[in-house]
Structure 1
Amino acid sequence: MEMEVLRSPDPEQAPPEAPAPTRKKSDLRRKLLIGAVAVWAVAITAVVLLRDDGDPESPARTLPSATPSASDGPLTVPQLYQALRPSVVLIKATGSGAGADTGTGVIANADGTVLTAFHVVEGAKNITVAYADGTESPAEVVTSSAAQDIATLRPATLPETLVPAVLGGGAAIGDDVVAIGNPLGLTATTTSGVVSGLERTLSRDRGGDIAGLIQFDAAVNPGSSGGPLLNDRGQVIGIVVALANPTDDGTFIGIGFAVPIGAALGAGEGDGRNPPL
Structure 2
Amino acid sequence: MAVLAYALGSIGAGGREAAPSPSPTPSPSATLSVSDVFERVGPSVVVIQAGKSLGTGVIAADDGTVLTAYHVIKGAKDVTLRFSDGTKSKAAVTSANPKRDVATLKPQKLPEVVVPATLGGAVSVGAPVIAIGNPLGLTYSVSTGVVSGLNRSADRDSDDGDLNGLIQFDAAANPGSSGGPLLDSRGLVIGIVVSIADPGGDEAFAGIAFAVPIGAALGGDDGEGPPGEGLQI
Q: TM-score range by the shorter chain?
A: 0.7 to 0.9
Q: Which residue of 1 aligns with 2:111?
A: 159
Q: Residues 162 and 70 of structure 1: is their aligned pair in 2 closer, same or farther, counting only changes over 3 Å?
A: farther
**What is the deviation of 1:148?**
1.0
Q: Which residue of 1 aligns with 2:205?
A: 252
Amino acid at match of 1:236: V
Q: Does 1:232 align with 2:185?
A: yes
**What is the deviation of 1:248?**
1.4
Q: Is the 8 A contact 1:178 1:191 kept in 2?
A: yes
CA shift digits 1:74-124 (9 cap, x unpaired)? 101111111110000000001xxxxx5210000000000000000000000
Report the structure, 1 or 2, having the larger helix content.
1
Aligned to 1:199, the other structure's residue is in SS state strand
Amino acid at match of 2:38: Y
Q: Which residue of 1 aligns with 2:90?
A: 138
Aligned to 2:136, the other structure's residue is in SS state helix
Structure index of larger Rg: 1
Q: Which residue of 2 aligns with 1:83?
A: 40
- Identity among equivalent positions (%) equals 55
CA distance in structure 1 between the partners assigned to 2:24 and 2:204 by the alignment: 34
Q: Which residue of 2 aligns with 1:174?
A: 126
Residue in structure 1 matching 2:55, options 97, 100, 103: 103
CA distance in structure 2 between the partners assigned to 1:160 and 1:129 by the alignment: 15
Q: Does 1:218 align with 2:218?
A: no
Structure 1: gaps of 5 or more residues: 1-65, 95-99, 269-273
Q: Does 1:276 align with 2:227?
A: no
Q: Which residue of 1 aligns with 2:19?
A: none
**What is the deviation of 1:138?**
0.1
Counterparts of 1:7-156 in structure 2, within 5 Å, are: 68-69=25-26, 72-94=29-51, 101-156=53-108
CA shift digits 1:146-193 (9 cap, x unpaired)? 111100000001000110000001210000000000000000000000
Which deviates further from its counterpart, 140-149 or 108-117?
Answer: 140-149
**What is the deviation of 1:70?**
8.1
Q: Is the 8 A contact 1:69 1:168 kept in 2?
A: no
Q: Which residue of 2 aligns with 1:198?
A: 150
CA RMSD of aligned residues (A): 1.7
Q: TM-score, normalised by structure 1?
A: 0.71
Report the structure, 1 or 2, having the larger strand content.
2
Aligned length: 202
